[in-house]
Structure 1
Amino acid sequence: MKIHPLFTKRALPLLALTGIIPLAITLLFLWAGGWLTPARLTSDKLVTVLEKSSGVHPTYRRNHAKGICILGRFISNGNASGLSRAALFAKGETAVTGRFAIAGGNPHAPDYAVPVRSMALLFQQANGEQWRTGMNAMPFFPVSSVDAFYQLQTATLPESQTGKASPQKLTAFIASHPEVKPFFAWAKQYKPSSSWASDRFNSLNAFRLVDQAGQSHLVRWSMVPTIAEEPVSEASQHDADFLQKDILQRLDRGPLSWDLVITLAQAGDKSNDAAAAWPADRQTINAGRLVINRATPQQQGPCNDINFDPLILPDGIAASDDPLLNARSSAYAKSYNLRTREQAGAKL
């Protein structure tokens, strides 16, 4: 069959394009997954190194695996509405579903053995938009980059012969990443509190609040407890689940609360380095109060199927250029997909 010259000149490029588009999409998919660049750090590698550290525990999160669901509301006082057009900062109340947890991928770890704790929250705005945030009870992150975090996890993996991390590997890591020294200095003197209720939880990463005029303001935020901190008791140091028991007992007596305190950056404060603390004299704004009135077990609880992705943000809150944010989002998604598939398989 003879092909018409017009068909040859015009149609063939289109036919070629229809082949190029799927190929390009496939290549992008493979690159994003790290298949074409094996040395590139991916969410698979991040999750795998976490599993090597704590073991594989199907149906649970790969980090902060042990926790408890919490329910409550955020009562905004309107003080932050000039900084952000997000609906939750206007005066009023916003429903909140959240989670307390301890760091690590072992859902059976004793509470007293894990000093780092976390609070994750989902604010459900009336307009359907959500704000999800994960905060930790430490003042800053150990390292600045995703690669350094991966190397830190690798350096602290337990050795098969001893069951403990290699001092030589850790020393070598510190020598090549001196920015971790302030974190280790903090950890050395840190004394965990007796309760999640008295912990201060910090965003660590910087974000931007966007006002009605479209101007952005670089910030970090903290949930500051309204009760005084108490040291861990001797009895608690022998109770593997003392944090969960404590929070349930406290809520039986009444609601628990934290103030949402926003810290505004000044010139020179880094937006892309969660390991760098901002000076203590920065301006702060109390944006309102988080009130928690109920807690439930996490398995089959209201927080269990929530991916607390830090990049799920409402209009009025935007991500900064901190590289850890994209890495957290990607790793959280990988962990979420793994555990939801495992949960679905367990029901069959």
Structure 2
Amino acid sequence: MSQFPTGFATPASIVDALKAEAGDSPKARASFARGRCVRGTYVPSGRAEEITRSLSFTRPSRVLARFSVGGGNPKVADADKLVLRGFSFRLGAVDQRSDILTQSAPVHYARTLDQMLAFLKARTPGPNGGPDLENVRAFSVANPETLHQASYIAAHPPRGSFAGTTYWGVHSFPATNSRGETRFIKFKVVPVGGNVTLTEEEARMKPADFLHDDLENRIRAGDIRFSVMALLDRPGDPTMDVTIRWPNEDRCEEVRLGTIVITGIEPNEACDAIMFDPANLTEGIGHPPDEIFAARHAACTISFAKRR
């Protein structure tokens, strides 16, 4: 149970807590503050319409995207294994755009907004510059599901490339296909060339900007490709709790919706001038029913206004 009463948290309080936990950089994003803007194209597969009638996913389009390192600290080192890598992308023509936000772990760290606020407050730096570790431990004992994301990160080797990382959308999206049939899907974005990982020692030896440098070098040498996959639900799969995966999720049926091809670096201003809005979904992909997703549009809007 959260240490805060139900209804205490708001999207505004979440944004404030995210920024306080990261040191409150005024012009930085509240989350995934450090990143690189890129451009490319999306090409749908022949099976996309089996899953969704969304024109964003069933028609070719240009793509604006952003790779990032998690947290609200714009100076976080790329080699920090404990923070997520992010990949946000916008695809679809002007009147059929969808924004999809994905990350390098398949679960979120909080089930409810109250729990998310309590998680962040427990980790807010005190007068000594760091969080109260006793508070963190006590919160984790009372809220064991908030450790699922960190446990996943700790169990996997550090990522060696933005282009060689698998990314997940942690929410369950209702998808309606061309026959009017609706089922839940999760997004999984898989690098066509496979995952690129490092040993702990290799990660420690990397410079602070190595992921960003690697991205630029790979794009100069050729394009970067990702398969956009839809993981298909089965009866009884949980759709309300973003701290847990579907049972046997790694072995569930999946369909390739299409391919994102990253072809160039864009000035960061191109991504800073817009908001990747998780609620911006073209008909055929619906809003997930969980509490965290319900607050994300408002939180992103508040964060965008603050950094503007």
- Please, what TM-score do these two structures have when normalized by structure 2? 0.91
Question: CA shift at 1:186, angstroms?
Answer: 2.0
1:76 maps to which residue?
Answer: 44
1:24 maps to which residue?
Answer: none
Contact 2:8 2:114 in 1 (8 A): no
Pairing 1:118–2:86 present = yes
2:279 maps to which residue?
Answer: 311
Q: Report the more deviating stretch, 304-313 or 255-264.
A: 304-313
CA 1:222–1:315: 2 relative to 1, 3 Å: same
Contact 1:78 1:89 in 2 (8 A): no
Aligned equivalents of 1:234, 1:212: Cα separation in 2: 47
Question: CA-atom RMSD, angstroms?
Answer: 2.0
2:265 maps to which residue?
Answer: 295
Question: CA shift at 1:235, angstroms?
Answer: 7.4
Unaligned runs of 5+ in 2: none
Pairing 1:145–2:115 present = no
Question: CA shift at 1:82, angstroms?
Answer: 1.8
Matched AA of 2:252:
R
CA 1:135–1:168: 2 relative to 1, 3 Å: same
Question: CA shift at 1:89, angstroms?
Answer: 3.2
SS at match of 1:309: coil
Question: CA shift at 1:136, angstroms?
Answer: 0.4
2:198 maps to which residue?
Answer: 231
Aligned equivalents of 1:305, 1:68: Cα separation in 2: 13
Contact 2:157 2:197 in 1 (8 A): no
SS at match of 2:271: coil
Question: CA shift at 1:227, angstroms?
Answer: 1.7
What are the Cα deviations for residues 70-116 of structure 1, in whole angstroms up to 9, with x where unaligned? 100111112120221112333x5211101001111121222112531
What are the Cα deviations for residues 133-179 of structure 1, in whole angstroms up to 9, with x where unaligned? 11000121122111111111111122322x33222111211222122
What are the Cα deviations for residues 234-269 of structure 1, in whole angstroms up to 9, with x where unaligned? 377441111111100010100000101110111111
Aligned equivalents of 2:180, 2:254: Cα separation in 1: 21
Aligned equivalents of 1:82, 1:234: Cα separation in 2: 43
Pairing 1:65–2:16 present = no
- Please, what TM-score do these two structures have when normalized by structure 1? 0.81
SS at match of 1:266: coil
Contact 2:6 2:114 in 1 (8 A): no
Q: Report the more deviating stretch, 270-279 or 255-264.
A: 270-279
Contact 1:79 1:89 in 2 (8 A): no
1:108 maps to which residue?
Answer: 75
1:219 maps to which residue?
Answer: 185
Matched AA of 1:199:
T
Contact 2:10 2:113 in 1 (8 A): no
Aligned equivalents of 1:236, 1:293: Cα separation in 2: 29
1:260 maps to which residue?
Answer: 228
Question: CA shift at 1:230, angstroms?
Answer: 3.0
SS at match of 1:104: coil
Q: Report the more deviating stretch, 183-192 or 237-246.
A: 183-192
Matches within 5 A, 1:170-189: 170-189=136-155
SS at match of 1:318: coil
1:240 maps to which residue?
Answer: 208
SS at match of 1:82: helix
Contact 2:56 2:282 in 1 (8 A): no
* Higher Rg: 1
2:254 maps to which residue?
Answer: 284
Matched AA of 1:158:
P
Contact 2:158 2:203 in 1 (8 A): no
Aligned equivalents of 1:39, 1:103: Cα separation in 2: 27
Matched AA of 1:285:
V
> Identity over aligned residues, as a percent?
24
Contact 1:47 1:335 in 2 (8 A): yes
* 2:301 equivalent among 333, 336, 339: 333
